[in-house]
Structure 1
């Protein structure tokens, strides 16, 4: 049986993000023009708020334990065009317009390799 709180979260119009025990939820970043998945990161309440206020993707850096504006040093920011929320509000898809390569390696996407028969192979652009 679905509780009233779950029903509100799953079918209502109120944004009620469902964070994990560390206060985080997953965020998939997708290129709004190509549909290509660019990266996966984590967001906390502060990152969601900063993203909505600025229109630039912000995340929670687990390694640094703080707010992280994507592209703050490289200039390769992600301009958020749309935020999709999954059914139970514990994951987001940020449909973005990247200002340059998304991956810290300089690749367009962090998903630049595929697994084939146990070996990583480059993804063709």
Structure 2
């Protein structure tokens, strides 16, 4: 299963050891992401809703957020708005089942740096994390 995470993600993680917060109600994807992130050297926290996200953010600083756009009860845009209103500025990657329905430019004001399709190749999601890590290191 070592093929899940590309070499670039591992190299970036070794340099950064970032703290990831994933906000998603898909338990299977959450488990996959936790395993891959931990294997890559990241510290991972997963929550299923906005309240869990705000609670986690009140206790810890995160370097990157992975946010599902379609969480039941509260959408990803609303969750990101609440997170920003609470003063948290970590960049975010938006996860969606329909990448065509997401306009990245309209989400940039909420700190979104990339989008990733949930049903696509899992390695592509890890590359998006890697690119966000490298972009953060370059800043």
Q: Is the helix fraction higher in 1 or 2?
A: 2
Structure of larger gyration radius: 1
- What is the TM-score normalised by the length of structure 1? 0.24
